[in-house]
């Protein structure tokens, strides 16, 4: 919208019209209409809009952890009003509470009776590891655990399935109640956790002393640096992680492009460009030598380029989402074209980088740009209607609240991003860690993945706002409403072969959401469903135990198969999916020949650094 126009378009449309047609019935021209002097409203994205209101929201965001109180209140009001108008449902859940209480009382009276198993009333779910140790089968701890699990089940039933409540509000209520219940789990308190009590007896209370030391260390770091507990240990960027040999061959204000040195005598002619997410640092795909995707690719005879995104500061608040396409993917392709001219590129996008790559590929297809030989998307969504529990934080109220928080700072802070992801798995990432660190007095052994996860980045205000609104909130990309350079793009324009990976336990990009690419593009789609989660399922090197995958290719003109049917009909295979991918890439590559040059003369003149570059260190 033109901010300089006197009236917004909507106001112009409702100006009073002359009761006659454009020319009066008596032939006279109508007198020029005098527009009423209505002050134009400022745009919602203007930094001058309602500054006092936005400042208040930013202050509230610091207190609420970025969760909109209005969004939470509206969700509970929706649930409570429908519950109040459902007397039969009220009776049902009240009866269930009385029944559970009676069963728990009976179990407590006969706990030691023959045939009375430790989990006679309710068992923990398979993914719930809080009560998995044998100590939890002893009285009274077992009864406390069962009482907690019964309460958890009752609240789940009470907050779900209420007729008339919107699905998103129901999910918000159920999720928030679950978070509050998790705080009260008996595993979180020393007096009700048998594992902690056993450790106390074994150590003579030394676990509490070590726990106090851990707490003080974390508290000092939080107060002094504004950061939570971070354990990097011996994992240092450029020394023990992100160690693949390479050189920065291009740099602009947003990216450094790394070209990796070949490790084979001959390489495939088509280079591989990796577009990682800018939510975290790029080296998730170049961790330690034994699990580096970059090292694996170069060892298989591919020339690899990697984008390393600059960590934005408050002054970068106006960097737009499309700037990441233009100054990221497009700029990288231009740079690669100057190093290996007249070669198509095999492009890979991970997480948000995959979403960006899909947008760039659709734009290139619309414009007749044929530089992409193939597209690979790892745990990347293009349709956000089923984006898992992360969508609980995405509605108009919540997005406006986040925008006001970012408006004050210019960026989404690392702690806000990390906190949102931790809430999705609070049992594993919050409460179990607090119990281990502060009650058991232990510290988890540092790992390369933990070190990378602690190396968080910030997100620019404008980019993140556009990302939330255009993709999550409005789902413009699959609706044909996403504009690039003023014109819409469509994923159906993509005819390039696509390799897609989803992971079974992905809380960020659920595999069924990733699977939707099958009916969005007009191309051959090879889909892999890998074991593991959003990170561990992708970093799955050959030789590492515990990995499985399913793989199947759908031709562009083949019949669509739904995700549940697909999973049933495709057999699981032991091992890593990486070899399947490199075989797929090789099938779309030319005959290997000598490796290309490293960079250009301009690269040498610019005195750019060796990998991992400078941007990754900030």
Task: Look at residues 303, 306, 308 and name the one whose alpha carbon lies nearest to residue 343.
Answer: 303
Query: 351, 365, 439, 585: which is the annotated catalytic residue?
Result: 351
Q: Is residue 212 flagged as an active site residue? A: no
Task: Look at residues 478, 491, 608 and name the one whose alpha carbon lies nearest to residue 556.
Answer: 491
Which phi and psi (to 5°) does residue 245 adopt? -70, 130
Task: Look at residues 564, 571, 534, 582 and name the one whose alpha carbon lies nearest to residue 549.
Answer: 571
Give the sign of the dihedral formed by CA 542, CA 544, CA 545, CA 548. negative
Task: Determine the Cα–Cα distance for residues 263 and 272; give it in Å rounded to an integer.
Answer: 15
Task: Determine the Cα–Cα distance for residues 527 and 531; give it in Å rounded to an integer.
Answer: 13
Which phi and psi (to 5°) does residue 483 adopt? -100, 135
Task: Look at residues 249, 129, 241, 242 and name the one whose alpha carbon lies nearest to residue 185.
Answer: 129
Task: Look at residues 256, 335, 325 and name the one whose alpha carbon lies nearest to residue 615.
Answer: 256
Environment class of 153 (CB within 10 Å of its CB; exposed 0-12, middle 13-18, buried 19+):
middle
Task: Determine the Cα–Cα distance for residues 252 and 335; give it in Å rounded to an integer.
Answer: 11
Task: Look at residues 462, 492, 469 and name the one whose alpha carbon lies nearest to residue 323.
Answer: 462
> Which three-class secondary structure state does DSSP give residue 18?
coil
* 598 within 8 A of 269, measured Cβ to Cβ: no
Task: Look at residues 283, 612, 294 and name the one whose alpha carbon lies nearest to residue 455.
Answer: 283
Which phi and psi (to 5°) does residue 446 adopt? -65, 145
* 93 within 8 A of 157, measured Cβ to Cβ: yes
* 93 within 8 A of 160, measured Cβ to Cβ: no
Environment class of 161 (CB within 10 Å of its CB; exposed 0-12, middle 13-18, buried 19+):
exposed
Q: What is the layout of strands, in order, in the sheet containing 498-503?
A: 246-251, 255-260, 304-309, 272-275, 345-350, 372-378, 498-503, 525-530, 548-554, 573-574
Cβ atoms < 10 Å from Cβ of 254: 20
> Which three-class secondary structure state does DSSP give residue 569?
helix
Task: Determine the Cα–Cα distance for residues 481 and 547; give it in Å rounded to an integer.
Answer: 39
Give the sign of the dihedral formed by CA 158, CA 163, CA 167, CA 172. negative
Length of the chain in terms of residues written = 618
Task: Return the structure tokens found at 25.
Answer: 């019935």
Enumerate the active-site residues.
351
């Amino acid at each position: 919208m033109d901010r300089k126009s006197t009236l917004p378009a909507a106001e112009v449309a409702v100006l009073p019209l002359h009761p006659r047609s454009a020319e009066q019935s008596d032939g006279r021209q109508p007198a020029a209409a005098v527009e009423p002097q209505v002050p134009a409203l400022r745009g919602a994205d203007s930094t001058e809009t309602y500054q006092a209101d936005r400042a208040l929201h930013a202050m509230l965001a610091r207190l609420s952890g970025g969760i909109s109180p209005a969004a939470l209140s509206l969700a509970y009001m929706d649930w409570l009003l429908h519950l109040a108008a459902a007397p039969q449902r009220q009776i049902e859940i009240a009866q269930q509470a009385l029944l559970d209480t009676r069963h728990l009382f009976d179990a407590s009276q006969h706990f030691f009776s023959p045939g009375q198993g430790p989990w006679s009333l309710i068992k923990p779910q398979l993914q719930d590891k809080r009560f998995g140790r044998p100590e939890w089968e002893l009285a009274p701890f077992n009864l406390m655990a069962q009482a907690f699990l019964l309460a958890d089940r009752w609240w789940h039933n009470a907050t779900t399935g209420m007729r008339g409540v919107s699905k998103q509000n129901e999910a918000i209520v159920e999720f928030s109640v679950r978070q509050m219940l998790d705080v009260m789990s008996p595993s979180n308190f020393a007096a009700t956790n048998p594992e902690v009590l056993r450790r106390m007896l074994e150590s003579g209370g030394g676990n509490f002393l070590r726990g106090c030391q851990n707490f003080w260390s974390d508290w000092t770091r939080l107060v002094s640096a504004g950061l939570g507990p971070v354990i990097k240990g011996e994992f240092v960027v450029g020394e023990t992680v992100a160690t693949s040999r390479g050189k920065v061959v291009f740099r602009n204000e947003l990216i450094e492009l790394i070209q990796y040195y070949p490790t084979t005598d001959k390489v495939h002619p088509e280079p591989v460009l990796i577009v990682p997410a800018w939510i975290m640092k790029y080296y998730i795909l170049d961790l330690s030598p034994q699990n580096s995707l970059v090292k694996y690719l170069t060892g298989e005879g591919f020339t690899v380029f990697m984008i390393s995104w600059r960590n934005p500061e408050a002054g970068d608040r106006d960097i737009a989402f499309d700037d990441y396409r233009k100054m990221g993917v497009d700029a990288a392709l231009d740079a690669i074209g100057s190093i290996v001219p007249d070669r198509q590129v095999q492009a890979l996008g991970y997480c948000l980088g995959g979403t960006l790559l899909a947008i760039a590929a659709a734009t290139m297809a619309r414009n007749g740009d044929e530089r992409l030989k193939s597209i690979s998307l790892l745990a990347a969504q293009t349709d956000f209607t089923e984006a898992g529990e992360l969508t609980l934080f995405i509605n108009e109220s919540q997005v406006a609240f986040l925008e006001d928080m970012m408006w004050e700072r210019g960026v989404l802070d690392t702690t806000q991003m990390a906190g949102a992801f931790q809430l999705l798995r609070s049992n594993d990432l919050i409460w179990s860690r607090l119990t281990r660190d502060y009650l058991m007095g232990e510290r988890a052994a540092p790992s390369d993945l933990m070190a990378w996860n602690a190396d968080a980045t910030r997100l620019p205000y404008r980019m993140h706002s556009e990302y939330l609104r255009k993709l999550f909130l409005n789902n413009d990309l699959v609706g044909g409403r996403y504009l690039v350079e003023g014109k819409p793009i469509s994923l159906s324009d993509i005819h390039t072969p696509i390799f897609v990976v989803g992971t079974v336990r992905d809380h960020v990009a659920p595999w069924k959401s990733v699977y939707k690419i099958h009916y969005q593009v007009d191309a051959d789609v090879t889909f892999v469903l890998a074991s593991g989660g959003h990170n561990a399922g992708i970093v799955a090197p050959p030789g590492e135990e515990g990995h499985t995958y399913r793989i199947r290719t759908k031709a562009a003109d083949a019949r669509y198969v739904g995700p549940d049917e697909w999973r049933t009909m495709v057999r699981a295979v032991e091992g890593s999916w990486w070899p399947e991918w490199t075989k797929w890439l090789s099938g779309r590559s030319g005959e290997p020949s000598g490796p290309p040059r490293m960079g250009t003369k301009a690269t040498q003149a610019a005195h750019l650094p060796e990998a991992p570059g400078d941007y990754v260190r900030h």
